[in-house]
Amino acid sequence: MNKTEIQEKTNYCLNCKIKPCSNKGCPLGNDIPTFIKLAKEEKIEEAYEVISTTSVLPGICGRICPHMKQCEGSCVRGIKGNPVDIGTIESYIFDKAMEQGLSLKKVYEKYSSEENKEEKEVLKGKKVAIIGGGPAGLTCAAFLAKEGIDVTIYEKYDSLGGILVHGIPEFRLEKSIVEKSIKNILDLGVKVEYKKELGKNLELEELIQNYDAIFLATGANKSAKMGVEGENLQGVYGGNELLEKDMHPDYNGKTVAVIGGGNVAMDCARTIQKKGAKDVFVIYRRAEAQMPAEQKEIEDAKKEGVKFLLQNNIVKIIGNEKVEKVELIKTKLVKKEGETREVPVNIENSNYIIDVDYIVMALGGTVSDETLTLGLTLNKWGNILVDEKYQTSISKIFAGGDLAGTKGTVAWAARSGREAAKNIKKFLLF
């Protein structure tokens, strides 16, 4: 993105006083009109400082947020035309800031004052353990470290990033951007212990004894199941695990059905298509307009050759030991009393069968079995139950991200990490 292009994009912003893009659309509440105005004036340092007050992952959010369902979807410009390209502008600010040698550390040091000296004295020596180095954990770590709190992240892999590294494909998010973002946070003094996993070589009780507070952010990366016949046959994969572990079979010349309509489904379908599959079908029980995936991702999948079987529901998976076929049934959308959106209802006698070699269940994630044994209260969906402070049933333990049932985007996970950090600070002070 060159200066001329970014100028065109920033000039398009009306600099609204009511800021619907920020106040309504952005989960993080970024002051979007202000950082766009500063970018327009080529004040990259100031623009980056504005973003850094609310977000520590702008290079990532700018690239992969579902902007049309968040900030850009609330843009006034979008009422009678295209919205402001907020994501591209945000990404540009981050990239230029890094080129100029700016960092979170420099921003925080610049605005660190003699204020709150008493608070800082109380917080000195306080230790917080963060379990999981994904968007929620990284954000929480950054905002705690900003306060001078001793922070250690425990990560099950040998690298940080969580879904950013082990879930989102390179073609959607360059790993170099993730690496820059992580380094930016670690430079605040955040420590990391790698290859540490709860229930295996890391015990919650020990952490409770050794730390003043704990933030759980291990995600919900275990793929959900439908409970249909044949789901345990060979050749049925979980979408989350497939992306996370990158253990794909040989798709060359094969037909693959991907069940689901979210971004995980799109990532799976596009990855499989790029790996040489003959046919990739996305099967979703609702219409395209109701798909949770970002529209751009849907359009990109179509361009790449992915086929869509919309308003189709899976009945059963057929095969002896391995997947051979899948039985589908067509659906219609019906408005039911008490429901906020139309509900898919199976159409009687509309069943049909297609041949497939593999099936990928991309239906969202559930928490790991290890999480269920922690002794914390769960909500009705099986996530860790937290209150408005992101505090669990054990007072010194907080939780966020998908583990606590946030809305499934990086920005919402980051928001939970930031808000949890604020409340952890209060907990440590009092």
Residue 76 shares a structural domain with residue 120: no
Judge contact between 357 and 255, C-beta under 8 A.
yes
Residue 170 shares a structural domain with residue 80: no
Phi and psi torsions of 155, nearest 5°: -125, 135
The per-residue pLDDT for 112 is: 76
Rounded Cα distance between 189 and 208, Å, is: 22
The per-residue pLDDT for 430 is: 87
Give the domain CATH number at 335.
3.50.50.60
Residue 255 shares a structural domain with residue 207: no
The per-residue pLDDT for 324 is: 97
- Quick: pLDDT tens for 281-312: 999 999 999 998 989 999 999 999 999 999 99
As a whole number, mean pLDDT of residues 211-240 equals 92
pLDDT greater at residue 364 or residue 163: 163
Please count the structural domains in the chain: 3
As a whole number, mean pLDDT of residues 416-427 equals 98
222 pLDDT band (50/70/90 cuts)? confident
The per-residue pLDDT for 262 is: 92
Rounded Cα distance between 259 and 281, Å, is: 8
pLDDT greater at residue 195 or residue 378: 195
Considering 212-226, 243-257, 265-279, 402-416, the range whose residues carry the highest mean pLDDT is 265-279
Residue 360 shares a structural domain with residue 371: no
Domain membership of residue 207 as a residue range:
115-220+367-429
Considering the domain boundaries, does residue 19 fall inside one?
Answer: yes
341 pLDDT band (50/70/90 cuts)? confident
Residue 149 in this model has a pLDDT that exceeds 90: yes
Considering the domain boundaries, does residue 70 fall inside one?
Answer: yes
Residue 277 shares a structural domain with residue 379: no
Average pLDDT, the chain: 93
The per-residue pLDDT for 254 is: 97
Residue 228 shares a structural domain with residue 351: yes
369 pLDDT band (50/70/90 cuts)? low
Rounded Cα distance between 430 and 421, Å, is: 14
Q: Which of 92-101, 273-282, 338-347 has the lowest mean pLDDT?
A: 338-347
Burial class of residue 299, CB neighbours in 10 A (0-12, 13-18, 19+): exposed
Residue 84 shares a structural domain with residue 214: no
- Quick: pLDDT tens for 45-96: 999 999 999 999 999 999 999 999 999 999 999 999 999 999 999 999 999 9
| pTM for the full predicted model | 0.93
Residue after which a domain boundary falls, among 102, 125, 141? 102
Measuring CA to CA, which residue among 120, 121, 141 is closest to residue 129? 141
Residue 110 in this model has a pLDDT that exceeds 90: no
How many CB atoms neighbour CB 130 within 10 A?
32
The per-residue pLDDT for 131 is: 97
Considering the domain boundaries, does residue 107 fall inside one?
Answer: no
Residue 114 in this model has a pLDDT that exceeds 70: no
Residue after which a domain boundary falls, among 316, 334, 364? 364
